[in-house]
Amino acid sequence: MHSETAVAAAPRVFELRTYTAHEGKIEALHARFRNHTVKLFTKHGMQNIGYWVPQDAPGKTNTLIYIVAHASREQAQKNWEAFRNDPAWIQARDESEKNGKLVAKVESVFMDAVDYSPLK
């Protein structure tokens, strides 16, 4: 019973992702997120926490930063696998990349909220 309690009380895991877009592709990336990706994340068990762009150059012209939450690190892997295999995602990605890939670099950091975090 103790392990069941620990599992039930386990906090969610946050994933901080930073996308660096190819030159001239940031608006297309925003459109893809706005019109498709955010909804698909929800469909596949990811909680959308927030999306940001840097205020200063060069980041403001080519960077998207966001945080999603997953039930666990293991669930994150399953969520991403389901997302990447979703025909709706594949179609949205392919449509948005007709004139070339949008993202040059993706960075991902998994994080745990500290006990005083309002997002715990």
Number of domains in the chain: 1
Which one-letter amino acid corresponds to residue 10?
Answer: A
Provide mean pLDDT across the span 58-66.
96
64-115 residue pLDDT tens: 999 999 999 999 999 999 999 999 999 999 999 999 999 999 999 999 999 8
**41 lies in a domain?**
yes
What was the pLDDT predicted at 79? Answer: 98
Residues of the chain with pLDDT > 90: what percent?
A: 86
- Domain at 80, CATH number: 3.30.70.100
Residue 42 phi/psi, 5-degree rounding, is -60, -45
Contacts of 55 (CB under 8 A, 6+ apart): none
The neighbour count for residue 62, using CB atoms within 10 Å, is: 21
What was the pLDDT predicted at 10? Answer: 52
Please check whether residue 42 is in contact with residue 88, taking contact to mean a CB–CB distance below 8 angstroms: no
**5 lies in a domain?**
no
pTM across the whole model:
0.88
**40 lies in a domain?**
yes
Query: What pLDDT band is residue 4 in, cutting at 50, 70 and 90?
Result: very low
Domain span at residue 39 reads 11-56+74-111
Residues of the chain with pLDDT > 70: what percent?
A: 92
**117 lies in a domain?**
no
Q: Would you say residue 19 has pLDDT above 70? A: yes
- Sheet containing 13-21: give its strands across: 47-52, 63-70, 13-21, 103-111
Q: Would you say residue 5 has pLDDT above 90? A: no
Classify strands 13-21 and 63-70 as parallel, antiparallel or unpaired. Answer: antiparallel
Please check whether residue 52 is in contact with residue 66, taking contact to mean a CB–CB distance below 8 angstroms: yes
CA 64, CA 52: separation in Å to the nearest integer? Answer: 6
Residue 2 tokens, joined: 């103790």
